[in-house]
Amino acid sequence: MAGSLDNFLHDPTDVGALGEEERKEFEEWVSKILSNPETISSMVEKALHDGMQSEWEEDSLGHKFKLGSYYPSLIERCLRLQAYSYLYPEPPSKEELAIFREGSAIHEIIALSLRRSGLVSVEGSEVVVDLVFNEEAKLHGRIDDLLLIRLSGESNSNFKLFVPLEIKSAQSLPDEPKPSHYYQLSTYLLAKKFPMGVLLYWAKRGGGVKAYPISRDDVMYSVLRERVFELHEALKRNDFPQKEAALNHDYFQCEHCGYLERCNPFLINSVSHGSKIALFDIDSTLLDPLPRRKAALRELGLPSTMRPSDIDNEETRETFWDLFNSPKFVELDTLIEQGRAKVYEQIELGRVPVGISSSRHDVLVEATRARLANLGISLANLILRENGNYDTDLRFKLKWALRLETNYTVSEYFDRDATTCSMVLKSISEVREKKSAKAGKA
């Protein structure tokens, strides 16, 4: 480009064409830049960031929230999260901006390649679609690409089919379509009565591609309608829908939610903010599950002294765990007397007792609560392992202690395992130190 720095530096005729004084001035200017080259690299970084930000702003202009019009791409996510994202849209972080731009670039590459292939034709991109449920509420989105497919070699080669294509870039290829993507594409299929669509994943790491065919499922219409109505009714009342992810114990979604602080999903309804808590590991300080384990082994005809890890047959091992985790056996758990005494002691000290267990599945919440109540122990809340959580025992307890500490003071932690106990207490005190250091600075 004429007049660019590159021209000045590498084209002697340009520099030579300058007058004496102008050349001197130019050389001074260049040496000034070279004495601080970071000015240029930061300018490039800033230009890139500003460009991406402006593209995002332009794109979000078309996404201004209108009551009654909801996004298919969000509809599977936590209802409370959706409400926050409509009412309190957050500007994207630098990382999110880069992901957004990367996604659009990948989309462009894919559309271009499909066009060049000659196998399918791309009939439209960003095709606007509405799935209307009533005069008040609808899902409103845009199909990434609308393909027109002709299959040669068939008896009637004139037949053509429109197939919506939804493109998703991910770090790695998923083993199956993600539920939120399935909901999104289902919306388009239902809205336009397309019999099928394709969900295409592009792996940013490794560059693999995987396309999943998705058939229209008419049952999805009522699933989507129920979700839209629940969200819409709450927003219409100037209210919020339920904290769905937290209620379903989908804490993974909460941990990755941009509204975690605003939502505060770890506040226990029955325990007021700021209370002092005494946390008890249920299975080592309050209840002994050994009789339950023995009963499950006996039911399978195995010696009651056997360790579950020693069950060779995989199917039998699975049946053992199903039995062990079935509510009917929980009443066999026996009381650890010192634990009960400790609970009363803590209540006397003004602390609210809360139970935690990484080895009990949350299907056992009610049965465990009932068993404890029968044994004279009433806990304000029970935190049991949710489905799909594979954290180690220590990680599970650490995470929860810190989650509780965001609303409460975890004053005591009881666990037969001394290492777990000291790690939990140490992490809590580190968090407190950080908090007070931050408060001191403010």
Q: What residues have CB less than 8 Å from 151, skipping those under 6 apart?
A: 157, 159
Which residue's CB is nearer to ligand SF4, number 164 or number 265?
Answer: 265
Element (H, E) at 129: strand 120-132
CA dihedral defined by 417, 423, 428, 433, rounded to 10 degrees? 150
Beta strands in 173-300 (DSSP E): 196-203, 209-215, 276-281, 287-288
Could you tell me the two tokens for 102?
């990367």
Minimum distance from CB of 439 to ligand SF4 (Å)?
24
Minimum distance from CB of 90 to ligand SF4 (Å)?
12
For Cα atoms 351, 357, 361, give the angle at the middle one, nearest 5 degrees: 135
23 to 13, 20, 34, 168, 405: CA distances (angstroms): 12, 5, 16, 52, 66
Write the DSSP string, 225-239. Answer: HHHHHHHHHHHHTT-
Instruction: Judge whether 78 and 244 are in contact, CB under 8 Å.
Output: yes
Minimum distance from CB of 258 to ligand SF4 (Å)?
8
Which residue's CB is nearer to ligand SF4, number 243 or number 351?
Answer: 243
Minimum distance from CB of 131 to ligand SF4 (Å)?
23
For Cα atoms 351, 352, 355, give the angle at the middle one, nearest 5 degrees: 125
Q: How far apart are CA 285 and CA 327, in angstroms?
A: 20
Minimum distance from CB of 76 to ligand SF4 (Å)?
12
Chain residues in the site for ligand SF4 (CB under 6 A): 78, 80-81, 84, 243, 245-246, 253-254, 257, 259-260, 263, 265
Minimum distance from CB of 400 to ligand SF4 (Å)?
15
Which residue's CB is nearer to ligand SF4, number 257 or number 401?
Answer: 257
Q: What is the DSSP letter of 92?
A: P
Minimum distance from CB of 248 to ligand SF4 (Å)?
9
Write the DSSP string, 377-442. Answer: ---SEEEEEPTT----HHHHHHHHHHHHHTTSEEEEEE-S-HHHHHHHHHHHHHHHHHHHHHHHH-
Minimum distance from CB of 59 to ligand SF4 (Å)?
23
Which residue's CB is nearer to ligand SF4, number 273 or number 328?
Answer: 273
Which residue's CB is nearer to ligand SF4, number 53 or number 253?
Answer: 253
Which residue's CB is nearer to ligand SF4, number 181 or number 342?
Answer: 181
Which residue's CB is nearer to ligand SF4, number 55 or number 230?
Answer: 230
Say which amino acid occupies 262. Answer: R
Which residue's CB is nearer to ligand SF4, number 254 or number 286?
Answer: 254
